[in-house]
């Protein structure tokens, strides 16, 4: 009995202790103030637009302002280049801080941020690394800014810039030039491509490329033709071989309706000055003499319109029926447009031989187009007495050709080179893209790096290539889905599954820039100017 009583007393004592313990607040110990601090910002990201950067994060309670530090490294922060302190702004995703000045282009940076408060210890750092993108503060270099030996470069002001490099040569920017946003650089080489890079110390702030204009020819056999001069009369007179007739940019020259008959042994260049507006030449034909050297047209806008832009169209540039042995006829960097029939035709029973006919870097349109079967081919000879030994069409854009590209059906050629061209809306009803009929191309017969777009035939009866033996070599040449030949298909063409309207920016307006970035021939096919 005594033992039970003792156990009861012990139990009661234990309950009393537990009861007292339950009333004690065990969290009333002293606190360490160094741990009473803000939470660090979370979800820190950087949004980059060129060289403009904004930081975004999720805010934590109690922060009244922030410190941002910036360094040029990857989360090392060994050298802080900028420190900013202030409040954040708000956007849809939380807090945001816009770095107030543009950073260097294409440069690796790190940014870190911590929160501050008047009542609590600052937070720890949150950090992010990012790389800025390329920058372009240079203005487009227009053709009016370019001379044969100098260029005017412009950029957006105000901006920090120090110098240009052009093909590796440094040109410093003065304080006055920096304020104006303009620098003239001279001592350049005519007809040379330059790569321009604009710097602020080591940071690239913009870049462009351009080609200097050609020098206006000078010398004993150079004749500058004014707009009021009679170009037809000048061409009809004998001149030393290699004479150059200079037509100034922006000028317009009209030749009478009768063809210009060239003198024997004619060999000359009609050269248009480089400039925003090519010299326009409107005339109705040239007749080659019995013997001729090189007849060259360079950097001209040659139109069939009598009044340059509208009205009655003339028929030909060359419509040769007089016997002739001519070394070469060359069109270089020309626009050729608006002829009712053909650019180069041979006809009649007289013996006519052209050594070489070439078109390079040209834009050619609205030739022989009657919106049906066409009138004459772009290059047209169907007589056995008239031949062109070598034909070359390169780096050119050719569209709205009503009949076909080449008809040479009475006699063969030695070579035919069609390379790096863009074609669209060519070949009329039942006509051929290239037609030698039963005649051969005995040597090089090349179709390389071209794009053939829509055919012009309203009845979808256009044909491909016809030639004896057909030794044609086709390489890296594409046909759009609306280039469908009714017969004489061109073997070796690469099919592009979409129509020309989905490949080119605006073919109806003569803009053949490639807009389909998935096009396999984007960097290798067509006129290089559109790539």
Examine residue 491 and state whether it is found in any structural domain, yes or no: yes
- How far CA 298 is from CA of 57, 129, 178, 210, 246, in Å, comes to 61, 54, 38, 19, 10
Q: What is the pLDDT of residues 22-33, one digit of tens each?
A: 444 444 444 444
pLDDT at position 9: 55
Percent of the residues in the chain that have a pLDDT greater than 70, as a whole number = 93
pLDDT at position 23: 45
pLDDT at position 524: 96
**Residue 190, token pair as written in the block:** 């005519």
Secondary structure (3-state) at 239: coil
107 with 166, same domain? no
- From the list 104, 99, 98, 100, the residue with the least C-alpha distance to 132 is 104
* Residue 91: partners with Cβ closer than 8 Å, 6 or more residues away: 56
Choose the weakest-confidence range: 34-43, 191-200, 236-245: 34-43
361 with 505, same domain? yes
User: Are 473 and 441 in contact, with CB atoms under 8 Å apart?
Assistant: no
Does 425 or 213 have the greater pLDDT score?
425
Percent of the residues in the chain that have a pLDDT greater than 90, as a whole number = 75
Examine residue 5 and state whether it is found in any structural domain, yes or no: no
Band of the pLDDT at 36, cuts 50, 70, 90?
low
Please give the mean pLDDT across all residues of the chain: 91
126 with 151, same domain? no
Q: What is the pLDDT of residues 340-394, one digit of tens each?
A: 999 999 999 999 999 999 999 999 999 999 999 999 999 999 999 999 999 999 9
Query: What is the mean predicted confidence (pLDDT) over 45-68?
Result: 90
**Residue 267, token pair as written in the block:** 């060999």
Domain that holds residue 53: 37-131
Examine residue 427 and state whether it is found in any structural domain, yes or no: yes
Rounded CA separation 293/327 (Å): 5
Query: What is the mean predicted confidence (pLDDT) over 189-195?
Result: 93
Q: What is the pLDDT of residues 57-101, one digit of tens each?
A: 998 888 889 999 999 988 999 999 999 998 888 877 789 999 998
User: Are 44 and 29 in contact, with CB atoms under 8 Å apart?
Assistant: no
**Residue 395, token pair as written in the block:** 């780096």
Does 12 or 30 have the greater pLDDT score?
12
158 with 71, same domain? no
Examine residue 455 and state whether it is found in any structural domain, yes or no: yes
Q: Please determine, for residue 455, whether its predicted confidence score (pLDDT) is greater than 50.
A: yes
Outline where DSSP puts E strands in 192-341.
193-200, 203-211, 222-225, 243-247, 252-254, 260-261, 266-272, 279-282, 286-287, 291-298, 300-303, 316-320, 324-332, 335-339
- How far CA 418 is from CA of 47, 141, 256, 440, in Å, comes to 49, 32, 33, 16
pLDDT at position 17: 47
pLDDT at position 256: 74
How many residues would you count in the chain? Answer: 531
Rounded CA separation 254/282 (Å): 5
User: Are 91 and 57 in contact, with CB atoms under 8 Å apart?
Assistant: no
Band of the pLDDT at 104, cuts 50, 70, 90?
confident
* Residue 114: partners with Cβ closer than 8 Å, 6 or more residues away: 40, 41, 66, 67, 122, 123, 124, 125, 126
User: Are 361 and 333 in contact, with CB atoms under 8 Å apart?
Assistant: yes
pLDDT at position 4: 47
174 with 226, same domain? no
126 with 149, same domain? no
DSSP letter at 528? G
pLDDT at position 10: 54
Examine residue 504 and state whether it is found in any structural domain, yes or no: yes
Q: What is the CATH number of the domain that holds 101?
A: 2.60.40.10
368: how many CB neighbours lie within 10 A of its CB? 26
User: Are 397 and 430 in contact, with CB atoms under 8 Å apart?
Assistant: no
Rounded CA separation 287/316 (Å): 11
Q: Which of 77, 111, 131 is the last residue of a domain?
A: 131
Examine residue 363 and state whether it is found in any structural domain, yes or no: yes
pLDDT at position 409: 97
- The tally of domains found in the chain comes to 3
Q: Which of 190, 211, 232 is the last residue of a domain?
A: 211
Examine residue 367 and state whether it is found in any structural domain, yes or no: yes
234 with 170, same domain? no
First to last CA, the chain: 111
Q: Which of 211, 233, 261 is the last residue of a domain?
A: 211
104 with 249, same domain? no
Give the bridge partners for 253, in sequence order: 281
Examine residue 500 and state whether it is found in any structural domain, yes or no: yes
- From the list 293, 300, 399, 419, the residue with the least C-alpha distance to 356 is 293
- From the list 249, 234, 155, 231, the residue with the least C-alpha distance to 200 is 155
Q: What is the CATH number of the domain that holds 301?
A: 2.160.20
228 with 207, same domain? no
119 with 158, same domain? no
230 with 90, same domain? no
Query: What is the mean predicted confidence (pLDDT) over 427-443?
Result: 97
413 with 286, same domain? yes
Q: What is the pLDDT of residues 254-289, one digit of tens each?
A: 877 788 999 999 999 999 998 778 999 987 789 999
């Amino acid at each position: 009995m005594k033992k039970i009583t003792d156990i009861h007393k012990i139990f009661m004592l234990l309950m009393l202790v537990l009861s007292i313990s339950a009333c004690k607040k065990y969290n009333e110990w002293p606190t360490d103030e160094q741990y009473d601090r803000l939470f660090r910002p979370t979800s820190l990201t950087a949004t980059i637009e060129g060289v403009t950067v904004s930081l975004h994060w999720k805010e934590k309670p109690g922060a009244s302002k922030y410190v941002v530090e910036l360094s040029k490294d990857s989360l090392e922060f060994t050298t802080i280049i900028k420190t900013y302190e202030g409040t954040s702004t708000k956007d849809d995703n939380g807090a945001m801080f816009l770095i107030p000045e543009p950073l260097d282009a294409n440069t690796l940076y790190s940014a870190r941020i911590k929160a501050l408060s008047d009542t609590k210890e600052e937070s720890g750092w949150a950090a992010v690394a990012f790389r800025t993108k390329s920058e372009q503060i240079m203005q487009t270099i227009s053709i009016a800014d370019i001379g044969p030996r100098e260029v005017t470069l412009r950029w957006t002001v105000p901006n920090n810039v120090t110098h240009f490099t052009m093909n590796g040569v440094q040109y410093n920017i003065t304080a006055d030039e920096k304020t104006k946003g303009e620098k003239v650089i001279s001592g350049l080489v005519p007809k040379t491509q330059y790569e321009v890079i604009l710097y602020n110390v080591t940071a690239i702030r913009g870049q462009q490329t351009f080609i200097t204009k050609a020098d206006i020819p000078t010398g004993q056999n150079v004749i500058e033709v004014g707009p009021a001069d009679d170009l037809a009369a000048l061409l009809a007179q004998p001149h030393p071989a290699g004479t150059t007739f200079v037509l100034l940019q922006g000028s317009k020259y009209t030749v009478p309706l009768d063809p210009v008959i060239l003198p024997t042994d004619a060999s000359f260049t009609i050269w248009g000055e480089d400039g925003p507006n090519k010299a326009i030449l409107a005339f109705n034909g040239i007749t080659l003499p019995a013997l001729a050297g090189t007849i060259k047209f360079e950097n001209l806008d040659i139109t069939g319109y009598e009044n340059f832009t509208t009205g009655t169209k003339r028929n030909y540039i060359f419509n040769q029926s007089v016997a002739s042995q001519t070394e070469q006829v060359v069109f270089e960097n020309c626009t050729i447009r608006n002829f009712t029939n053909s650019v180069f035709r041979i006809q009649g029973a007289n013996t006519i031989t052209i050594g070489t006919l070439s078109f390079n870097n040209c834009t050619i349109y609205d030739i022989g187009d009657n919106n049906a079967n066409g009138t004459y081919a772009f290059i047209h000879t169907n007589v056995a007495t008239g031949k062109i030994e070598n034909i070359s069409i390169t780096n050119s854009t050719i569209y709205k050709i009503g009949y076909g590209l080449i008809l040479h059906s009475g006699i063969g050629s030695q070579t035919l080179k069609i390379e790096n061209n863009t074609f669209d809306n060519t070949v009329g009803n039942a006509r051929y893209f290239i037609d030698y009929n039963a005649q051969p191309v005995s040597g090089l017969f090349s179709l390389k790096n071209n794009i053939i777009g829509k055919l012009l035939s309203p009845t979808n009866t256009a044909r491909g290539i016809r030639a004896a033996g057909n030794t044609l070599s086709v390489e890296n040449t594409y046909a759009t889905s609306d280039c469908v030949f009714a017969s004489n298909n061109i073997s070796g063409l690469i099919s592009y599954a979409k129509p020309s309207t989905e490949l080119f920016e605006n073919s109806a307006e003569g803009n053949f820039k490639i807009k389909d970035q998935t096009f396999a021939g984007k960097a290798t096919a067509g006129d290089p100017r559109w790539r």
